[in-house]
């Protein structure tokens, strides 16, 4: 996981260059940490011309943890495999970390050690965390009001608008309310990132 925060737009992907291992095998590792990773503001997030960009919401990312049969787990893992196989930046707002933690805490049967391991595993996921910058928060508030979404859900769409990239969700309610926006895609219909 790479954090974006407040300095130059030369933030680098954590881990050794060119060494992106599969999350599916749980061997992808990160040498960076929240305190040692370069930070840039969400208004100046680095935009590499060669890499595709997407925003995924919590409903997609949580499926990367799932092993049991559940709707769209296969599609989520296919998306993850594609992200890992090609130059692609996965962006998320910082609140995703708390939402995923909440789902793991309340909707799984993990004990204390399992929860600790799952939270540690978040550090290995290949995504870039956008901080809660004021312009992004204002856009989320406007989108939430216009579309009848929670501020949380609107934050993912606001980030996609800012980055001019797709926002992928497995949340049918969010998709139905935001389907008029060309950037919002349902996981069942995301297709190839190319």
Structure tokens at 173: 């309610």
Q: Looking at the domain assignment, is residue 19 inside a domain?
A: no
Q: Looking at the domain assignment, is residue 86 inside a domain?
A: yes
Q: Which residues pair with 168 in a beta bridge?
A: 56, 185
The answer to whether the CB of 166 falls within 8 A of the CB of 54 is yes
Q: Looking at the domain assignment, is residue 67 inside a domain?
A: yes
Give the domain CATH number at 159: 3.40.50.1010
Q: For residues 27 and 74, what is the distance between their CA atoms, to the nearest angstrom?
A: 19
- For 51-103, write each residue's pLDDT tens digit: 889 999 999 988 887 766 678 988 998 998 888 888 889 999 999 999 998 98
Give pLDDT, residue 23. 33
pLDDT for 143 beyond 60: yes
Q: Looking at the domain assignment, is residue 36 inside a domain?
A: no
Residue that is written with structure tokens 């993912």 in the block: 156
| Distance spanning both ends of the chain, measured CA to CA | 22
Q: Looking at the domain assignment, is residue 174 inside a domain?
A: yes
Global pTM reads 0.72
Q: Looking at the domain assignment, is residue 126 inside a domain?
A: yes
Q: Looking at the domain assignment, is residue 17 inside a domain?
A: no
Task: Quote the domain boundaries for residue 114.
Answer: 53-189
Q: Looking at the domain assignment, is residue 41 inside a domain?
A: no
The number of distinct structural domains making up the chain is 1
């Amino acid at each position: 996981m790479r954090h974006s925060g407040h300095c130059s737009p030369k933030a680098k992907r954590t881990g050794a260059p060119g060494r992106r291992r599969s999350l599916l095998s749980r061997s992808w590792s990160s040498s960076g940490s929240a305190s040692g990773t370069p930070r840039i503001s969400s208004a100046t997030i680095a935009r590499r011309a060669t890499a595709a960009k997407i925003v995924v919401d919590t409903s997609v990312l949580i499926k990367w943890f799932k092993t049991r049969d559940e709707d769209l787990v296969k599609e989520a893992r296919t998306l993850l495999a594609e992200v890992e196989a090609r130059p692609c930046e996965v962006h998320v707002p910082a609140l995703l970390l708390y939402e995923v933690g909440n789902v793991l805490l309340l909707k799984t049967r993990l004990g204390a050690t399992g929860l600790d391991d799952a939270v540690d595993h978040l550090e290995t996921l290949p995504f870039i965390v956008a901080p809660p910058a004021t312009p992004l928060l204002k856009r989320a508030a406007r989108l939430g009001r216009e579309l009848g979404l929670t501020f949380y859900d609107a934050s993912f769409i606001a980030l996609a608008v800012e980055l001019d990239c797709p926002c992928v969700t497995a949340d049918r309610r969010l998709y139905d309310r935001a389907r008029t926006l060309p950037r919002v895609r349902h996981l069942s219909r995301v297709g190839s990132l190319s």
